[in-house]
Chains A and B, each alone.
Chain A
Amino acid sequence: MNNDIPVQALGPQGEVMAHAVDACVHCGFCLPACPTYALLGDEMDSPRGRIVLMKEVLEGGLDLLNAAPHLDRCLGCQACVTACPSGVPYGELITSFRGWSEPQRQRSPLDKAKRYAILKALPAPKLFSVAARVGQYAKPLAPVLPAALRGPLDLLPEHVPAMQPSPRVTPAQGQRRGRVAFLTGCAQQALAPNFNAATLRVLARNGIEVVIPDGQGCCGAAALHTGARDEALRLVRANLDAFNPDEYDAILSNAAGCGAGLKEYPIILHGLHDEERAKAFSAKVQDISEYLATLAREEGLEPFMPASRPLKIAYHDACHLAHAQKVRSAPRELLRMIPGVSIVEIPEGDLCCGSAGTYNLEQPELAGQLGARKAGHILSTTPDLIASGNIGCHTQIQSHVRRQGSPVPVMHTVEVLDLAYQGEL
Chain B
Amino acid sequence: MTTEKLALTTNSPAHKPRSKGGADNALAAELMRLLGPKKVLSSLAERLSYRFDAIQFGVTPLAVVLPESTEDVIATVKAARRAGVRIVGRGAASGLSGGAAPMQPSVVISFTRMTKLEIFPERREAIAQPGVITLAVTDAARPHGLIYPPDPASFRTSTIGGNLGENAGGPLCFKYGVTGDYVTALDFVDAEGELHTLKRDAYDLAGLLIGSEGTLGLITSATLRLTPPPKFTRTLMAHFAEVGQAAEAVSAAIAAGAVPGKLEFMDQACTNAVEDYLHLGLPCDAGAVLLVDTDGDDLETVEVERALVEAACLEAGGVVRRAEGEAEAAALWQARRSVSPALGRIRPQRMNEDIVVPRSVLPEVVRQIRALGDASGFKLVQFGHIGDGNLHPNILFDPRKESEEAVHALAHEIALVALRHGGVLSGEHGIGTMKRDFMRDAVDAETMAALWNVKRALDPSGALNPGKILPDETHA
Residues of A near any B CB (own CB < 8 A): 1-4, 22-29, 31-32, 41-44, 49, 52-53, 55-56, 61-63, 65-67, 69-70, 84-87
Contact = CB atoms under 8 A, between A and B. Distances in A.
Contacts of B459: none
A1 B342 CA distance: 14
16 contacts: A1-B348, A2-B349, A4-B11, A25-B54, A25-B349, A28-B54, A28-B92, A29-B154, A29-B341, A42-B41, A42-B66, A55-B10, A66-B19, A69-B45, A85-B341, A87-B277
B46 interface: yes
A3 B10 contact: yes
Contacts of B154: 27-29
A52 B17 CA distance: 13
A27 B43 contact: no
Nearest to A66: B45
A99 B45 CA distance: 20
Interface in B1-25: 9-11, 16-19, 21
Nearest to A28: B94
B237 interface: no
A2 B9 contact: yes
Interface in B80-116: 92-94, 110, 112-113, 115
Contact of A62 (B48, B54, B277): B48
Contacts of A28: 54, 92-94, 154, 157-158
A420 to B, nearest CB: 29
B341 A27 contact: yes
A24 to B, nearest CB: 7
B43 A53 contact: no
B157 A44 contact: no
A34 to B, nearest CB: 11
A85 B17 contact: no
B358 interface: no
Contacts of A26: 52-54
Nearest to A31: B157
Interface in B22-67: 41, 43-46, 48-50, 52-54, 66
B236 interface: no
B66 A61 contact: no
Contact of B49 (A23, A24, A49, A87): A49
A198 B43 CA distance: 51
B399 interface: yes
A327 to B, nearest CB: 16
Nearest to A4: B11
B344 interface: yes
Nearest to B399: A2
Contacts of B344: 23-25, 27, 85-87
A41 B17 contact: no
B341 to A, nearest CB: 4
A32 B131 CA distance: 13
Contacts of B45: 44, 53, 56, 62, 66-67, 69-70
A376 B254 CA distance: 49
Q: Which residue of B93, B94, B343, B348 has the most chain A CB atoms within 10 A of its CB atom?
A: B348
Interface in B307-350: 338, 340-345, 348-350
B49 A41 contact: no
A85 B342 contact: yes
Nearest to A27: B341
B133 interface: yes
Contacts of A4: 11
B196 interface: no
Nearest to A60: B19
B113 A41 contact: yes
Q: Which 7 residue pairs of A and B lie closest in terms of their CB atoms, listed nearest first? A: A86-B344, A25-B344, A27-B341, A44-B49, A28-B94, A43-B49, A2-B10
A29 B156 contact: yes
B400 interface: yes
A306 B116 CA distance: 47
Contacts of B44: 62-63, 66
A28 B10 CA distance: 16
Contacts of A84: 341
Contacts of A22: 348
A366 B262 CA distance: 41
A66 to B, nearest CB: 4
A86 B110 contact: no
A84 B340 CA distance: 11
Nearest to A45: B49
A23 B348 CA distance: 6
A28 B100 CA distance: 13
Contacts of A87: 276-277, 344-345
A28 B21 CA distance: 26
Contacts of A25: 54, 341, 343-344, 348-350
A43 B112 CA distance: 9
